[in-house]
Amino acid sequence: MTDRQTTHFLTLFSESRTRFSNQLETLSSDDLLKKIAPASNSVGFLIRHIGDVELLFAKNVFGNSDIRVKAKTVMDKRDTGEWNDLLELIDYVNFSATQLTETIQRMTDLDWEKEITTAEFGTKTNAQAFGRIVSHTAYHAGQMALILKYGSSLNTREL
């Protein structure tokens, strides 16, 4: 049986992620290439990045050592233009959400008070770290919404 706090965290994750997942339902392959400025990240990159970071959190922050992830968007630190397969990206972020959800389900109420230290955000409790992953996804979902509304998929030579 899932502990009470864990149930609340799962509910929060599920609801907050809809800011991202609802956008996936109406995307086209052309949308993946959209950017606001030539040097900004594309929608495709942002989708992949959200999945990469969710998997990193499940593995490195919340301790699911069964997860294997090659977080290319985090390693590259820039949009390489390769994230343009819509079905592959949707499968990837569905997988990352499932893995993070299953990892969270394993946590006990006491686990939320344990501290984790990372180079990215220092020392936090698991509850605080949970806030980081939820806000990370929402932040990039907001970027996606703006890019989808105002961006274009023209390359820089066409501008």
In the chain, DSSP finds a helix count (H) and a strand count (E) of 6, 2
Residue 122 lies in a domain: yes
| CB-based contacts of 137-141 (< 8 A; 24+ apart in sequence) | 137/16, 137/17, 137/19, 137/20, 137/50, 137/53, 137/54, 138/16, 138/19, 138/20, 140/20, 140/46, 140/49, 140/50, 141/19, 141/20, 141/23, 141/50
Residue 158 lies in a domain: no
- pTM greater than 0.85: yes
Tokens of 99: 């893995």
**Helical pair 43-56 and 86-105, crossing angle rounded to 10 deg:** 20
Residue 106 lies in a domain: yes
**What is the domain-level CATH number for residue 69?**
1.20.120.450
Contact yes or no for 43/144 (Cβ under 8 A): yes
Q: Which residue would you say has higher pLDDT here, 27 or 1?
A: 27
Q: Which domain holds residue 17?
A: 4-153
Tokens of 40: 């900004």
Judged by DSSP in three states, 54 sits in helix
Residue 159 lies in a domain: no
Beta strand pairing call for 122-125 and 115-118: antiparallel
Residue 37 lies in a domain: yes
Residue 85 lies in a domain: yes
Residue 104 lies in a domain: yes
Mean pLDDT, residues 60-69: 94
Structure confidence by residue, pLDDT tens digits, 6-57: 999 999 999 999 999 999 999 999 999 999 987 789 999 999 999 999 999 9
Task: Tell me how far apart the alpha carbons of residues 7 and 23 are, in angstroms, rounded to a whole number.
Answer: 25
Q: How many domains does the chain have?
A: 1
pLDDT band of residue 156 (cuts 50, 70, 90) is: very low
Residue 61 lies in a domain: yes
Task: Tell me how far apart the alpha carbons of residues 153 and 147 are, in angstroms, rounded to a whole number.
Answer: 10
Task: Tell me how far apart the alpha carbons of residues 133 and 126 are, in angstroms, rounded to a whole number.
Answer: 11
